[in-house]
Amino acid sequence: MSTETTEATGKNKNKERDLWVGFDLGGTKMLAAVYDGDYKLLGKKRKPTKGHEGSEAGVERVLGVITKALEDAEVSVDRLAGIGIGAPGPLDVIDGVVLDTPNLGWKDVPIQKELEKEFGCPAVLLNDVDAGVYGESRFGVAKDARCVVGLFPGTGIGGGCVIDGEIFRGSRLSCFEVGHMRVVPDGPRCGCGRRGCLEAVASRLTISSHAAAAAYRGQAPYLKAEIGTDVSDIKSGALAASIKAGDKTIEDIVRAAARHLGTAAGSLVNLLNPDVILLGGGLVEALPDLYSEVVIAAAQKRAMACYRDTFKVKVASLGDYASVQGAAAWARHTLETKKN
């Protein structure tokens, strides 16, 4: 290639690095999406995570899924400007290392470096819930809010906070572990080993375990007949179907959990005074009206008088794409801010 050609294509070459990849590394599935500079979705690829295969195989799957998404988008890898990857914590977001994620079976995996080596562009690691909250605050229901607090009840309870366009971050690690605030002294045992965590009284897994007991006791005929009493089978969809079919006890259980979440939301209103409390995750997606109603009521009750009209409770709107689009946009924001 002659100098002249290089110079002639110089502008073009710069322009070539114009695409961003967002990646969501979930406990059960992974999803990659390729975006242009206007966040138009060009291509995507989804695959089961298969955490039991170990982290080496897991990293290979991540790289493979991104390669497939690029193929789906029909673009070449050298157009990639950066990759944002959301993963469950705890993480070292500075060095881009997944520290210890039992759901994935990963421990001390330097995913950022692996991505950079493979694709020849910078990568940024962030917490998956942070990615979702950032995504909704950039592109979704929380678009115009200055301060968003996200609460995502699932197997555990994830949280995230975006303020003035930045993800709130602690001293080094990713944070906002809202599920491990203590809400009931000497309360039920939590997966983290402590007692009375929000997660221990309001997560989907807690609800499922109470629902299983109710089904066993004959208090939830639909759930008993259609799903059974195995907590592994009682997912968000099953709970929603059971409530719809008239299992009143299941509704009571979910409402009690949602009230705990709403009270915690109210405490966070007093603490951080966000514009928007953003609810997301599978359980909220399956029961958006119930969650909105109960969380608003409990949060209003807990909020101080002067904060009562200062916040809205909203249900996440972008589904799976909140996290991937959020991760892509956060990578871009981080890398472009660093440059300037």
Is 284 a binding residue for a second copy by CB under 8 A? The answer is no
Site string for a second copy, 223-252 (x = CB under 8 A): ------------------------------
Binding region for a second copy (CB under 8 A) out of 20-28, 184-192, 222-230, 330-338:
184-192
- Minimum distance from CB of 324 to a second copy (Å)? 25
Is 266 a binding residue for a second copy by CB under 8 A? The answer is yes
Burial of 321 (0-12, 13-18, 19+ CB in 10 A): buried
147-153 β-sheet, strand order? 166-167, 157-163, 147-153, 276-279, 312-315
CA–centroid distance for 240 within its chain = 21
- Minimum distance from CB of 176 to a second copy (Å)? 6
- Minimum distance from CB of 59 to a second copy (Å)? 21
Alpha carbon distance 61, 80 (integer Å): 19
- Minimum distance from CB of 17 to a second copy (Å)? 29
Please state, in angstroms and as integers, the Cα–Cα distance from residue 173 to each residue in 39, 84, 115, 215, 260, following that order.
Answer: 28, 17, 20, 40, 27
- Minimum distance from CB of 283 to a second copy (Å)? 21
- Minimum distance from CB of 273 to a second copy (Å)? 2
Contacts to a second copy from residues 117-176, by CB under 8 A: 145-147, 159, 163, 168-173, 175-176
Nearer to a second copy, 32 or 277 (CB): 277
User: How much is the CA Rg of the chain, to the nearest whole Å?
Assistant: 21
Site string for a second copy, 288-307 (x = CB under 8 A): -------------xx-xxxx
Residue 90 is given by DSSP the state S
Does residue 330 contact residue 125 with C-beta atoms inside 8 Å? no
What residues contact residue 162 under an 8 Å CB cut-off, 6+ apart?
130, 133, 134, 137, 142, 145, 147, 148, 150, 168
> Dihedral of the CA atoms 248, 204, 321, 174 (nearest 10)?
150
Is 281 a binding residue for a second copy by CB under 8 A? The answer is no
- Minimum distance from CB of 260 to a second copy (Å)? 9
Is 188 a binding residue for a second copy by CB under 8 A? The answer is no
Residue 174 neighbours by CB distance under 10 Å = 25
Does residue 159 contact residue 152 with C-beta atoms inside 8 Å? yes
Is 94 a binding residue for a second copy by CB under 8 A? The answer is no
Is 194 a binding residue for a second copy by CB under 8 A? The answer is yes
Nearest to 311 by CA among 264, 263, 280, 278: 278
Q: Which residues bind a second copy (CB under 8 A)?
A: 89-90, 99-100, 145-147, 159, 163, 168-173, 175-178, 180-185, 192, 194, 263-264, 266-268, 270-275, 301-302, 304-307, 310-311
